[in-house]
């Protein structure tokens, strides 16, 4: 089904999914940090930069 998706839809879908993934993982890192686990902060994942989460 994804292969039949028009290219303009894919061009919109990929950045939206990338943003959603980064925000989701940032939320995990932020909450873990707030609950006392500094692992994500020490790993540099407490950011919305997509490269830190991939």
| pLDDT, average across residues 32-45 | 94
Whether residue 11 is contained in a domain is answered as: yes
Q: Which two three-digit tokens encode residue 7?
A: 């290219």
Q: Catalytic: which of 22, 25, 40, 45?
A: 25
Residue 42 pLDDT more than 80?
A: yes
Which pLDDT score, from 0 to 100, does residue 54 have? 73
Which pLDDT score, from 0 to 100, does residue 49 have? 87
Distance CA 26, CA 2 (A): 27
Residue 8 among the catalytic residues: no
Q: Which two three-digit tokens encode residue 34?
A: 């707030």
Q: Which domain holds residue 13?
A: 7-53
How many domains does the chain fold into? 1
Which pLDDT score, from 0 to 100, does residue 30 have? 95
Whether residue 31 is contained in a domain is answered as: yes
Whether residue 1 is contained in a domain is answered as: no
Whether residue 2 is contained in a domain is answered as: no
Which comes out higher in pLDDT, residue 5 or 29?
29
| pLDDT, average across residues 10-39 | 94
């Amino acid at each position: 089904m994804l292969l039949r998706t028009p290219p303009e839809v894919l061009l919109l879908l990929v950045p939206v999914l990338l943003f959603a993934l980064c925000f989701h993982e940032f939320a995990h890192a932020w909450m873990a940090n707030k609950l006392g686990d500094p692992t994500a902060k020490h790993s540099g994942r407490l950011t919305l930069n997509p490269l830190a989460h991939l």
